[in-house]
C-alpha cells in the first residue's frame, strides 16, 4: 500500500503538465527575489554608486512588492488548482479517507512542489546574479568588475518567503477540505455561474454606472495636480469600482443584449466563444478586475521609469544650463580655472553680472495675491555670449525662467497669468515692469538665488540704478564654466567636488547631478522592469490556468459536437475568438487605464512619454499573446482528444 508521501510524489508526476507553468512562474519570481536581496546586501555595487542613491531601500521596497505579487499569484493559482481537483478530493473522502488525511496529503504535495521551486530558484538566482549585476551597472552608467559570491542572507530571506507561501497555501487547502461538503466537491466544476438572465433595468443601470465611474476617473486624470491627494483617491476609487462593475455587470449585460438581438441563435462560433464567457464573467469579475488593474499599474510603472531614465540628461540640463557656476567667489573661480588649465582641460569661461532685488509678481487672476519674493535680473546680452539659446526681450519687459514650473501646477493654467506686471518698491515709489511669458527651463543654475528673470542689459542697468540702496538689493557676479568633452567633464567634476563643494552653501555641478539622477532612475527602471515582468507572468499564468480548467470542463461538449458532425477546425474558430476576448479584453482596458494614469502623472515628467509608453505596451501585448497561444494550443489538444 502506498504511503501519503508516495501518493503525493505520484500525483505530482501525473499533474506535471498542469503544474509546469505555475512551477516556472514560482521559480522566476523567487529567483528574482533572491537576486534583489543579494543586490540589497552587495556592498561592492553600493560602494560604486553615489552616496545619495538609496540603493538598499530601492531593493528592499522592490523585494516587498515582489513578495506581495508572489503571494497574490500563489493564492490565486492554488485556488484554481484546488477547484480543478475538487472531484479528486471528494473521491478520497468517498472511499473512507478522513479529511485530515486528505489535507495532509495535499500539504505534503504542496511542500514538495514549493521546495523544488525554492531550490531551483536559489540555484538559478545564484547563477544569473552576475548577469543582473552587469545589466544594472550598464543602466547606472558604471564600469568595473564586481565579484559575485553566494549570499547567505539572501538565501535565508528567500527561505522565509517560501515558508510564508507554504503556510498561506496550506491554510487555503485545509479550509477547502474541511469547509466543503461532498456534494460541493463533486459539483464544483459543473455549477454554472449564471442560471438566469440578469434583471434588465438593474443590470442596465449598473452597466452604465461602471462606464460612468471609469469616465469620471479619466476626467479627473486631466487635472489631478490641482488637489493632488483628493483627486488621486477619487480617480483610483472610481476606476477600481468602475472596472469591477464593467466585468461583473456591463460586459455580461452586453453579451445578453447581443444574444437577445440574435433571438438566441448564436451559431457555433458565437456559442463557443460567448456562451462560456456569459456564464463565467460574474465569477471571474474579481480576478479580471485584479488582472486589468495590475496590467495598468505595470504599464504605467514601466513607462514612467523609462521616461525618467531616458530624459535624465535633458532634464538635468534644464535645471543646470552650465557645468559649473561660482557666485561672488572670484578667488575660488580663478583657482578652479587654473586647475582645469593645469590638467589640460578645454573650458569655456564667462562672467555674467546680475542684480538681486525684492519684488512682487502680480497675478491678474487673483489681485489679492501679493507675495514679495527675491527676483534675479539676468542680462540677455551677457547670457547670449555664454552660448545660451534665447531672445533679448524689449526694454522694460522680462521673461520668467523656471525649470520646475510644471511641478507647481498645470502649465496651461499658469500661462493664463501672463502677460502680467512686476511691482518693485523703490524708496517709497512703485516701479512696474512687464512680465511677458514663462519658459520651463533655467537660464542660470538651480542654486542661483531668487526667481530667474531675463531682461535686456539696459533694463537691468536701469533696475540696478533704481533699486540701489533698497533692502536686500545685491549685485551678483556669476562665473560660468562649460566643458565640451564628456571625459574631461568627469575629471573637472572630480576636481570641483574635491575642493569647491561645501556643506555651508548649496552647490551643484552638472556632471555630479546627472550621475546621481542617472543612477537613481537606472535603479528605478531596473526594479520596475523586472517587477513588471513578474506582474505579467503572474497575470498571464492566472488567465492560462483558468482557461485550462474551463477546457477540462468543456470536454463533454466537444464530444457532443463531434457526434453532430463538427470537426476540430470548426470548433477551434470559436475557441480562438473566446481566447482573443479573454486575453485582449483585460489587456485593452488595462492599457486604456494606463494611458490616463500616465497623463495624470505626467506633471512629474517634463519630457514626452509617448515613446516609452508605446514600447511598454508593445512588449506587454506580445507576451500576453504568447500566453494566449499557449492556451489555444492546450485547447486544441483537448479538442483533438475529445474528437478521437
Stronger pLDDT, 21 or 120, i.e. the higher one: 120
Q: Report whether 447 contacts 460 (CB < 8 A).
A: no
How confident is the model at residue 51, as a pLDDT?
66
Q: Rounded CA gap, 350 and 322, in Å?
A: 10
Q: What is the pLDDT of residues 473-507, one digit of tens each?
A: 889 999 999 999 988 999 999 998 888 887 666 78
pLDDT-derived band at 194 (thresholds 50, 70, 90) equals very low
Lowest-confidence segment of 19-23, 249-253, 336-340, 342-346 by average pLDDT:
19-23
In order, the DSSP letters of 545-602 are HHHHHHHHHTHHHHHHHHHTT--HHHHHHHHHHHHHHHHHHHHHHHHHHHHHHHHHHG
Q: What is the pLDDT of residues 212-234, one digit of tens each?
A: 999 888 888 877 766 777 878 88
Stronger pLDDT, 401 or 9, i.e. the higher one: 401
Q: What does the DSSP 8-state code read for residue 64?
A: H
- Is the predicted pLDDT of residue 538 greater than 90, yes or no? no
Q: Rounded CA gap, 38 and 136, in Å?
A: 13
Stronger pLDDT, 369 or 588, i.e. the higher one: 588
How confident is the model at residue 193, as a pLDDT?
47
Q: What is the pLDDT of residues 264-291, one digit of tens each?
A: 666 677 677 676 766 666 667 777 888 8
Q: Rounded CA gap, 76 and 287, in Å?
A: 8
Per cent of the chain over pLDDT 70 is 86
Q: Rounded CA gap, 637 and 571, in Å?
A: 12
CA distances from 78 to 64, 107, 181 (A): 21, 12, 19
How confident is the model at residue 290, as a pLDDT?
83
- Is the predicted pLDDT of residue 50 greater than 80, yes or no? no
Q: What is the pLDDT of residues 405-440, one digit of tens each?
A: 776 655 666 677 788 888 888 777 888 888 888 888
pTM of the model: 0.77
Q: What is the pLDDT of residues 326-362, one digit of tens each?
A: 998 889 989 999 999 888 889 999 999 999 998 888 8
Q: What does the DSSP 8-state code read for residue 405?
A: G
Buried b (16+ CB within 10 A) or exposed e, 224-242: bbeeeeebbeebeebbbbb
- Is the predicted pLDDT of residue 261 greater than 80, yes or no? no
In order, the DSSP letters of 261-286 are HTTT--HHHHHHHHHHHHHHTTTTHH
The SS3 of residue 4 is helix
Averaged pLDDT score across all residues of the chain: 82
Q: Give the closest residue to 293 by CA, choosing from 240, 217, 214.
A: 240
CA angle 11, 12, 14 (to 5 degrees): 65
Q: Rounded CA gap, 315 and 606, in Å?
A: 7
**Which DSSP helix (H) or strand (E) runs through 210?**
helix 200-221
Amino acid at each position: 500500500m502506498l504511503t501519503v508521501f508516495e501518493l503525493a510524489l505520484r500525483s505530482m508526476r501525473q499533474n506535471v503538465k498542469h503544474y509546469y507553468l505555475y512551477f516556472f512562474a514560482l521559480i522566476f519570481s523567487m529567483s528574482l527575489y533572491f537576486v534583489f536581496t543579494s543586490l540589497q546586501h552587495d556592498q561592492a555595487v553600493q560602494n560604486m554608486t553615489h552616496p545619495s542613491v538609496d540603493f538598499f531601500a530601492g531593493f528592499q521596497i522592490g523585494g516587498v512588492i515582489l513578495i506581495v505579487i508572489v503571494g497574490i499569484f500563489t493564492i490565486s493559482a492554488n485556488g484554481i488548482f484546488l477547484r480543478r481537483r475538487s472531484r479528486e478530493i471528494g473521491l478520497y473522502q468517498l472511499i473512507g479517507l478522513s479529511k485530515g488525511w486528505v489535507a495532509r496529503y495535499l500539504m505534503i504535495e504542496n511542500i514538495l512542489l514549493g521546495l523544488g521551486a525554492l531550490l531551483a530558484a536559489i540555484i538559478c538566482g545564484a547563477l544569473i546574479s552576475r548577469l543582473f549585476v552587469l545589466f544594472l551597472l550598464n543602466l547606472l552608467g558604471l564600469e568595473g568588475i564586481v565579484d559575485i559570491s553566494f549570499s547567505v542572507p539572501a538565501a535565508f530571506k528567500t527561505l522565509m518567503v517560501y515558508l510564508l507561501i507554504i503556510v498561506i497555501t496550506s491554510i487555503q487547502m485545509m479550509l477547502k477540505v474541511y469547509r466543503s461538503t461532498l456534494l460541493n466537491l463533486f459539483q464544483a466544476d459543473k455549477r454554472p455561474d449564471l442560471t438566469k438572465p440578469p434583471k434588465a433595468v438593474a443590470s442596465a443601470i449598473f452597466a452604465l454606472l461602471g462606464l460612468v465611474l471609469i469616465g469620471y476617473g479619466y476626467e479627473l486624470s486631466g487635472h489631478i495636480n490641482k488637489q493632488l491627494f483628493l483627486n488621486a483617491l477619487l480617480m483610483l476609487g472610481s476606476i477600481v469600482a468602475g472596472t469591477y462593475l464593467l466585468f461583473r455587470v456591463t460586459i455580461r449585460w452586453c453579451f445578453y443584449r447581443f444574444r437577445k438581438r440574435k433571438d438566441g441563435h448564436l451559431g457555433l462560433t458565437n456559442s463557443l466563444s460567448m456562451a462560456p464567457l456569459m456564464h463565467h464573467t460574474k465569477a471571474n469579475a474579481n480576478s479580471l478586475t485584479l488582472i486589468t488593474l495590475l496590467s495598468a499599474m505595470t504599464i504605467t510603472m514601466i513607462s514612467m521609469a523609462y521616461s525618467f531614465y531616458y530624459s535624465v540628461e535633458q532634464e538635468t540640463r534644464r535645471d543646470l544650463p552650465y557645468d559649473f557656476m561660482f557666485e561672488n567667489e572670484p578667488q575660488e573661480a580663478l583657482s578652479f580655472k587654473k586647475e582645469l588649465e593645469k590638467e589640460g582641460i578645454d573650458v569655456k569661461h564667462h562672467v555674467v553680472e546680475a542684480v538681486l532685488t525684492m519684488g512682487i509678481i502680480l497675478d491678474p487672476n487673483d489681485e489679492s495675491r501679493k507675495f514679495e519674493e527675491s527676483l534675479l535680473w539676468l542680462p540677455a546680452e551677457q547670457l547670449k555670449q555664454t552660448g545660451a539659446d534665447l531672445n533679448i526681450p524689449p526694454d522694460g519687459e522680462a521673461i520668467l525662467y523656471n525649470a520646475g514650473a510644471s511641478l507647481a501646477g498645470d502649465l496651461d493654467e499658469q500661462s493664463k497669468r501672463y502677460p502680467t506686471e512686476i511691482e518693485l518698491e523703490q524708496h517709497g515709489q512703485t516701479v512696474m515692469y512687464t512680465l511677458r511669458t514663462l519658459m520651463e527651463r533655467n537660464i542660470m543654475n538651480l542654486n542661483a538665488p531668487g526667481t530667474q528673470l531675463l531682461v535686456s542689459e539696459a533694463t537691468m542697468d536701469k533696475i540696478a540704478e533704481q533699486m540701489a540702496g533698497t533692502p536686500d538689493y545685491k549685485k551678483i557676479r556669476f562665473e560660468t564654466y562649460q566643458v565640451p568633452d564628456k571625459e574631461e567633464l568627469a575629471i573637472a567634476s572630480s576636481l570641483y567636488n574635491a575642493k569647491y563643494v561645501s556643506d555651508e552653501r548649496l552647490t551643484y555641478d552638472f556632471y555630479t547631478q546627472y550621475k546621481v539622477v542617472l543612477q537613481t532612475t537606472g535603479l528605478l527602471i531596473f526594479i520596475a522592469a523586472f517587477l513588471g515582468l513578474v506582474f505579467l507572468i503572474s497575470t498571464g499564468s492566472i488567465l492560462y490556468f483558468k482557461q485550462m480548467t474551463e477546457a477540462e470542463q468543456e470536454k463533454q461538449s466537444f464530444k457532443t459536437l463531434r457526434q453532430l458532425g463538427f470537426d476540430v477546425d470548426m470548433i477551434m474558430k470559436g475557441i480562438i475568438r473566446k481566447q482573443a476576448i479573454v486575453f485582449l479584453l483585460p489587456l485593452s482596458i488595462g492599457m486604456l487605464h494606463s494611458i490616463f494614469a500616465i497623463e495624470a502623472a505626467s506633471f512629474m515628467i517634463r519630457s514626452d512619454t509617448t515613446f516609452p509608453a508605446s514600447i511598454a505596451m508593445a512588449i506587454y501585448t506580445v507576451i500576453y499573446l504568447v500566453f494566449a497561444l499557449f492556451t489555444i494550443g492546450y485547447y486544441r489538444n483537448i479538442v483533438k482528444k475529445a474528437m478521437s
